[in-house]
Structure 1
Amino acid sequence: MTKLPLWKNFEHIDCWIFDLDNTLYPSKSNLFAKIDVKMGEFISEFLNVDLVEAKNVQKQYFNEHGTTLNGLMQNHDIDPTDFLTYVHDIDVSDLSASPELASALEQLPGRKIIFTNGSHYHATNVSSQLGIDHHFEHIFDIVAADYKPKPHKPVYEKLVLELDIDPGKAVLFEDMAINLAPAHEMGMTTVWIPNDAHWSTTGAAGDHIHYQTDDLARWLTELLADRNNII
């Protein structure tokens, strides 16, 4: 795994693919905690159980099925639209805009895409609040993935097929290490943005993580600075 962002290793990249939650914004913002609460509330109401049991179900389904939604669909045949609408109805106003990230995205050559296990609405809501929504040409969300979450490899294959992406010329940025494995297998460059949550570090062992940073905006800025020094 290499930590230094050297432009010579990225000059072939023409497609920059970004996860959304805890990747395009810092995990310390605790935005995802709001979604976590909403998921517990939804399960409590839907299954008619208390919040403690709802939380147990939520975590069980996440661990067994990749996302809580996938577990609910597999075990209870719920309407995924109802779930996504409820859990992503959150206030993002306390999420700070990132001028540094916006500047870096503007300077990156090629296409920029959001690849998320969340909904299109949530991705638009968050990226707009960050002031970076206009830099992305496409959002490939959980609906586009037929409700199958990362790291299911067929989802990545559908992404590159539908959006005409050459994996060998693409890079994926992710906070969940396990989600980088299929990208690596397909020939993508990978960048891991870890946090303290156990689900971020699960699956970190191996050679599928090529780069690592705890600050996406700074890392991209350093990458572009190296390019400018070469030019």
Structure 2
Amino acid sequence: MKGFGHVDTWVFDLDNTLYPASCRLFDQIDVKMGTFVSKLLGVDYAEAKRRQKEMFYKYGTTLRGLMTEHGITPDDFLDYVHDIDHSPVPPNKALDEALHALPGRKLIFTNGTVAHAENVLNRIGITHHFGDIFDIVHSDFIPKPEMEPYKKFVRQTGIDPQSAAMFEDIARNLEAPHALGMVTVLVTSPENKDAEHLNKATGGTAQDHINYVTDDLAGFLAGLTRDLKTRS
């Protein structure tokens, strides 16, 4: 199996990857997406949630579905759904220490926004580790798992994907980075209901484009750092 000895760039998804799904932060966004769709389409909340999930599973993000099927402009949607209370995200000293010990460059690649990512990173206490945040605006509103935003991410950040690793909670979002040559790590949690459903529906966790699976990101990073030190 591909190891980490050659890796000098560490790429992290944000939501339900860098913070635990158990804090239910994304539930707030999920509710607001349903409310937005309900108002936009003039349907009740239950029907709005059905359509919202349908778009998420089909297009990668609800926003992409709304832009494709209903022609909305993204700004109002993004501002509305990310206007949430970030206080449920707990500080994570273990993750802070693991990132500090990890040699190389660290970047965020998210289907969310820079502002949302900054709020989350500040809550966790790990902002200072990350040199760049590549968000849905940078990707021209084309979300993961499409290949195009990954290629733009590579161009904009100047990374070599052959010496990079990517951490994600959604299995299909690791297909493109794996194809580009990155080491891929799936971060799982039974609390992450959407990801669990989507991952099962798209082949589970034992797929060729998933090199590693962990349910403890901080522990995984600390372990691989110890391995790298032992081998050096």
Shared topology, TM-score over 0.5? yes
Aligned CA distance change for structure 1 residues 29 and 36 (closer, same or farther; 3 Å): same
The counterpart of 2:18, out of the listed 15, 24, 38, is 24
**Superposition RMSD on alpha carbons, in Å?**
1.5
Tell me the residue number matched to 1:112: 106
1:21, 1:137 → 2: CA distance? 18
Q: Does 1:229 align with 2:230?
A: yes
Paired residues of 2:24 and 2:88 also in contact (CA < 8 A):
no
Q: Which sections of structure 2, spanning at least 5 residues, go unmatched?
A: 191-195
2:50, 2:31 → 1: CA distance? 13
Aligned residue type for 1:227: L
Correspondence list, 1:126-205, <5 A: 126-196=120-190, 197-201=196-200, 202-204=202-204, 205=206
TM-score (structure 2 length as normaliser): 0.92
The share of aligned pairs that are identical, in percent, is: 52
Q: Does 1:57 align with 2:51?
A: yes
Aligned CA distance change for structure 1 residues 49 and 57 (closer, same or farther; 3 Å): same
Correspondence list, 1:84-103, <5 A: 84-103=78-97
1:77, 1:121 → 2: CA distance? 24
2:60, 2:148 → 1: CA distance? 14
2:180, 2:23 → 1: CA distance? 32
| 4+ long deviations beyond 6 Å | none
3-state SS of the aligned residue for 1:33? helix
Aligned residue type for 1:83: F
Aligned CA distance change for structure 1 residues 200 and 33 (closer, same or farther; 3 Å): farther
Q: How far apart are 1:213 and its partner, in Å?
A: 0.5
The number of residue pairs the alignment matches comes to 225
Q: Which sections of structure 1, spanning at least 5 residues, go unmatched?
A: 3-8
1:28, 1:173 → 2: CA distance? 18
The counterpart of 2:68, out of the listed 64, 71, 74, is 74
3-state SS of the aligned residue for 1:144? coil
Aligned residue type for 1:178: R
CA deviation profile, 1:143-201 (whole Å, cap 9, x unmatched): 10000010100111111011111111000000101111111111110011123321244
